[in-house]
Amino acid sequence: MGMGQQQGRSRSSNNLVVPQANAALQQLKYEAAQELGVTIPQDGYMGQYTSRETGSLGGYITKRLVQMAEQQLSGRSNL
């Protein structure tokens, strides 16, 4: 099996390690959009937005996720 055979498969880089986290991530996305003043269309398609707009939304979500992880880690006494 060469690399070419694997590339033929449809594989998204957005697969979640914990599929149950999807609802929480969707909620976080809408909260972030609201705070940034970005309206997410009903169908979820954001093709009309600029890279700057979607990038700022993604960056904001990443920042929030890092903050949440830091809070969880700081609550643990043994790492």
pLDDT tens readout for residues 41-67: 888 888 888 898 889 899 999 999 999
Residue 77 has pLDDT above 70, yes or no: no
Per the CB < 8 A criterion, the answer to whether 37 and 52 are in contact is no
pLDDT tens readout for residues 25-35: 889 989 999 99
Give the helix, strand, coil percentages of the chain, each rounded to 5.
Answer: 60, 0, 40
Global pTM value: 0.62
Q: How far is CA 21 from the centre of its chain?
A: 10
Q: How far is CA 9 from the centre of its chain?
A: 23
